[in-house]
């Protein structure tokens, strides 16, 4: 019997990793194990840091949650990389704002 989805939430890669680890690898099916392997390879920060980063990006820089999650998943290292996530061809983002976002990401990453 298919499960009914009661609630959806956007998660970062580190949060998915943490969630899968709490289930325990022995309880995962093959697709979940692949997902765990993927998240182990590509998580750039720990889950708690990822949550704080997303919250900070949304609150400080007024980003959409989806944009913030994608930025945290990739942890860009340049303004040009950040611009890819924000521009999307629809809006122009000031260079100063991009520099501030990059600085915020770098500060948080140094804390880890």
Give the percent of the chain with pLDDT over 70. 91
pLDDT confidence of residue 90:
65
Distance between CA atoms of residues 107 and 52, nearest Å: 12
Q: What is the CATH number of the domain that holds 92?
A: 1.10.150
Pair of tokens at residue 42: 């590509």
72 plus 36 within the same structural domain: no
Distance between CA atoms of residues 26 and 33, nearest Å: 9
Give the percent of the chain with pLDDT over 90. 68
Give residue 36's domain range.
13-42
pLDDT confidence of residue 111:
63
Pair of tokens at residue 90: 């629809």
72 plus 19 within the same structural domain: no
- The 10s digit of each residue's pLDDT in 62-111 is 999 999 999 999 999 999 999 888 866 566 788 899 999 999 999 877 66
Q: Is there a domain that residue 2 lies in?
A: no
pLDDT at 60 over 70: yes
Q: Is there a domain that residue 1 lies in?
A: no
19 plus 70 within the same structural domain: no
Residue whose tokens read 């930025």:
71
Give the residue-averaged pLDDT of 21-37: 92
Distance between CA atoms of residues 5 and 11, nearest Å: 15
């Amino acid at each position: 019997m298919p499960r009914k989805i009661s609630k959806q939430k956007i998660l970062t890669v580190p949060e998915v990793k943490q969630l899968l680890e709490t289930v325990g690898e022995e309880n995962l099916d093959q697709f979940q194990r692949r997902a765990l392997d993927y998240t182990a390879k590509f998580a750039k920060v720990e889950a708690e840091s990822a949550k704080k980063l997303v919250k900070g990006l949304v609150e400080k820089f007024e980003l959409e949650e989806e944009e913030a999650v994608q930025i945290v998943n990739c942890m860009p290292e340049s303004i040009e990389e950040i611009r890819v996530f924000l521009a999307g061809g629809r809006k122009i983002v000031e260079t100063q704002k991009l520099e501030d976002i990059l600085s915020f990401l770098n500060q948080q990453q140094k804390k880890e």
